[in-house]
Amino acid sequence: MRGEYKTPGGKLVAVDLDTADGRVAQARLAGDFFLEPDGALGRIEAALAGASTDDPAQTLADRVARALEPTDTLVGFDPLAVAIAVRRALGKSSTWADHTFTLIQEQPRDPYTQMALDQVYAEELGSGRRGPTLRIWEWASNAVIIGSYQSWSNEVDEAAAARHAVTVVRRVSGGGAMFVEPGNTITYSLVVPESLVDGMSFVDSYAFLDAWCVGALRSLGIDASYLPINDIASPAGKIAGAAQKRFADGAVLHHVTMAYDIDAAKMLEVLRIGREKLSDKGTKSAAKRVDPLRSQTGLSRAAIVEAFVGHFESLYGLDRSEPTEVELARAAELVRTKFANPEWLRRVP
């Protein structure tokens, strides 16, 4: 059995396994990583022998870590990367190639419904009614999306929001507030099974799930990179912010909002944030626009979205789909009972 794992920004780790009676009988490690001294390779392989085929990734990583000596040097990988490769060899973790992804790219919808649809598609994946999904959002109106645990009153100037016709909504994931305008923002969601990020910490899974997006930006000529914990940036400043929610039924929701061309002055009126926080988003003055995608590519928003979809499809393939009537009905129910409900919106006053 063979498993491979490419660490985000690092090297490929490959493991070949023989098993017997629910245990790893032999492990062989390979890859384009750097490891010194030579003897460390044998210690890592020996540490994996005897491990249960049901051991979680962290248990496997701990076995490897305990076998290393203080003078051992691992470059481009770590014990957890070895553990993830082992889990993939055992069929406990999955890779992008193990899944068929569906693209949902449809009409603009109001902010409450957009929040609800994210939860709906996660529920559908968790129940087995849908597979992994890439969803490109289209906004019907201006919005501020606050994180699940943010304070409403601390984040939003309600008078300014009303003045600029901004709908304030709360998402299911954590993180900071996002300001969006129709036609000036690119937002997408990935709904994937937990097996795809098995063994990864939240921080590692952000980098892993954002890697294709970074690649798409680079294909457009942007010198993009991932910045822990949840940002994508270029030398000119921040481009995107990500957030994530893991559900009890095994679904992982990962969504990203990118600025195409945002009115920074309006954003500062609505959001109670300082200018120093805005400085890492691609502008030094509130009078300017936050426009990293427009200014750095010279392309229309539609052309950038098309390039993103094409890049994802070239890597992992894509089927096309639309929300079903049942899914839209469930979304409407969630809007009524949760996402437009003051109890949810002001759960943190």
Length of the chain: 349
Residues of the chain above pLDDT 70, percent: 95
DSSP state of 77: -
Condensed to tens digits (0 to 9), the pLDDT of residues 71-80 reads 999 999 999 9
Condensed to tens digits (0 to 9), the pLDDT of residues 245-256 reads 999 999 999 999
**Rounded Cα gap, residues 43 and 40, in angstroms:** 5
Q: What is the pTM of this model?
A: 0.90
pLDDT at 192: 98
pLDDT at 203: 87
**Rounded Cα gap, residues 278 and 267, in angstroms:** 10
Q: 2-92: what fold?
A: Enolase-like; domain 1 (3.30.390)
pLDDT at 295: 92
Average pLDDT, the chain: 94
Contact 236, 282 (CB under 8 A): yes
The residue ranges of every structural domain in the chain are 2-92, 97-345
Closest CA to 100 of 73, 128, 131: 131
Q: Are strands 133-137 and 102-105 parallel, antiparallel or unpaired?
A: parallel
282 pLDDT exceeds 60?
Answer: no
DSSP state of 236: T
What average pLDDT does range 268-277 have in this prediction?
72
Question: 47: which 2 tokens?
Answer: 């540490």
CA atoms within 13 A on the CB side of 131: 11
Question: 255: which 2 tokens?
Answer: 């969504």
Q: Are strands 167-170 and 34-36 parallel, antiparallel or unpaired?
A: unpaired
pLDDT at 293: 95
DSSP state of 69: -
pLDDT at 151: 95
Architecture of the domain spanning 97-345 = 2-Layer Sandwich (3.30)
Condensed to tens digits (0 to 9), the pLDDT of residues 156-186 reads 999 999 999 999 999 999 999 999 999 999 9
> Please, which pLDDT band fits residue 279 given cuts at 50, 70 and 90?
low
- Phi and psi dihedrals of 79, rounded to 5? -55, -35
Closest CA to 121 of 101, 144, 97: 101
Domains 2-92 and 97-345 share a fold: no
Among 43-47, 145-149, 256-260, 283-287, name the one with the lowest average pLDDT: 283-287
